[in-house]
Every structure is written in C-alpha cells, then in structure tokens.
Amino acid sequence: MPVANVDLIDGDLRYYSYNPASKDQLDQISELISANLSEPYSIYVYWYFFHQWPQYCFLVSEKSSEKILGVIICKVGPHRDVRMRGYIGMLVIEPEYRGRGIAKKLVKLSIEKMMEWDHVDEIMLETETSNAAALQLYELFGFLRTKRMHRYYLNGSDAYRLILPVLDRLATRIGFLDRIVDVPAGVV
Ligand SMILES: CC(C)(COP(=O)(O)OP(=O)(O)OC[C@H]1O[C@@H](n2cnc3c(N)ncnc32)[C@H](O)[C@@H]1OP(=O)(O)O)[C@@H](O)C(=O)NCCC(=O)NCCS
C-alpha cells in the first residue's frame, strides 16, 4: 500500500506529516518533547525514528501557523518474525492545548495509518504507571495493560506496557477487538 503524506484540517487545527527536510520541525519537536516528557531523549533517538519511519510522525499546528502544538512519533517492524508490531514512541500535546481531543485524534490517525500502510497485527507502547491521562487515553482505544516494568524510566518510575491487538485471530481471545478496529463513535 503506498504511503502518502497526511494533511488534514479539523476546525482551526491542521494535522500533517513530519517533513524530514525541515530542521525547524525537528528542533520544535525535540523542544516540545524535552519540556513535557520526563525521559531525556538525545538527537540520536529522533534520528533513529525519523530516518527509518518519517511517515509515522504526525504533527498538529494552528491552521495559520507553523508552531507545533502536538506530536506523535511511531515506528513499525516485525516482532519475533511472527507478527508486525506498531509502536508509539512519544506523544506530547502543548499544555494549553490539552483536553481538546488532539491526542485522541493523533492516536487514531497513527493506528489507522499503521493498519493501512503496514498491516500491523498489534500496537505497543509504554507509559508511566502514574500517568493517568495517558492510560485513560490509550485504554479508550482498547489498549490492554500486559506488563508492569519496575523502575523502567530513568527517573525511577515504573511503566506499564500496553498492547492493542489488531490480529483477527486475537479476536477469539480478546473481547475488546471490535473497539479497536472500529473506534467507537464519539471517541474522535
Ligand atoms: C496525555 C496527553 C498526550 C493527552 O493529550 P490531550 O490532547 O489533552 O488528550 P485528549 O484531549 O485527546 O483526551 C483524550 C482522552 O484522554 C483522557 N485524558 C486526557 N487528559 C486526561 C487527564 N488529565 N486525566 C484523565 N484522563 C485524561 C480522557 O479519557 C480523554 O478523553 P475524554 O476527554 O473523552 O474523557 C497530554 O496530557 C500530554 O501531552 N501529557 C504529557 C506527555 C505525556 O504524558 N504523554 C504520553 C506519554 S505515553
């Protein structure tokens, strides 16, 4: 399936694909993430994601501005040679724009594109066990807590691993699947 750039207008906001040629976007993304995530990420982490999966970074701005208000960074690859796994690496919304459904829209867009472009079988991520907002957001989509990892982050906090099963055969084991494939009305 060919990969295409995303460029969507929703009210006064624009959701669009990261441009790998833009140094300004890279600078803004790293600033937004360092200001809002506890884990420190070096430039190599951004290069790792952006050189291999530039298509899986989506940004949000006001329609009339280049200032980045939100970002989601994902990747996709085979897992143990048996399934295709999507991974949500980072998600941040500028504090004054939170609570408006922007993260929900970015997560939905990323899930849909990972399913459309790479036919992922599952999508995984980690988040701090104390991050109630992130847990609630992902659980809305049907992500399941599969593991608790002790002192996973450099700040000493624990993480939950969350997995969204997309594979048809998982439907027989996981009752949440119809919430996944068909995101409930009202979620976005
Ligand atoms: C977590 C974060 C991305 C949410 O962004 P947001 O744009 O405010 O989220 P949305 O407005 O799309 O909210 C979606 C859902 O998330 C949940 N949610 C969002 N903020 C919440 C909060 N403060 N407390 C509890 N649930 C919350 C709700 O279920 C909400 O749905 P609802 O409004 O229908 O109840 C944002 O708070 C953020 O950037 N936090 C700092 C970085 C971070 O923690 N990233 C995630 C790491 S994995």
Q: How far is the CA of 24 from the centre of ligand 1 (A)?
A: 26
How far is ligand 1, taken at its centre, from the CA of residue 25, in Å? 23
Length of the chain: 188
What pLDDT shows up at residue 18? 98
Q: For residue 188, give Cα distances in angstroms to 30, 90, 182.
A: 26, 20, 12
Q: Which two tokens stand for residue 145?
A: 């807590």
Pocket-testing residue among 10, 73, 98, ligand 1, by greatest number of atoms within 8 A of Cβ: 98
Q: What are the tokens at 22? A: 């833009």
Residue 104 burial by CB count (10 A; 0-12/13-18/19+): exposed, middle or buried? Answer: middle
| pLDDT tens, residue order, the chain (188 aa) | 678 899 999 999 999 999 999 999 999 999 999 999 989 999 999 999 999 999 999 999 999 999 999 999 999 999 988 899 999 999 999 999 999 999 999 999 999 999 999 999 999 999 999 999 999 999 999 999 999 999 999 999 999 999 999 976 665 544 444 444 445 455 44
Let me know: does 92 contact 70? Beta carbons within 8 Å. Answer: yes
Complete domains list, the chain, with CATH? 7-181 (3.40.630.30)
Reduced to 3 states (helix: H, G, I; strand: E, B; else coil), residue 148 is strand
The closest residue, in CA terms, to atom 22 on ligand 1 is: 133
Cβ of 157 below 6 Å from ligand 1: no
User: Rounded to the nearest whole angstrom, what is the distance from the C-alpha of residue 83 to the centroid of ligand 1?
Assistant: 29
110 CA to middle of ligand 1, Å? 16
- Cβ–ligand 1 distance for 107 under 6 Å, the answer no
Atom of ligand 1 nearest to the CA of 104: 12
Biggest CA pair distance of the chain: 47
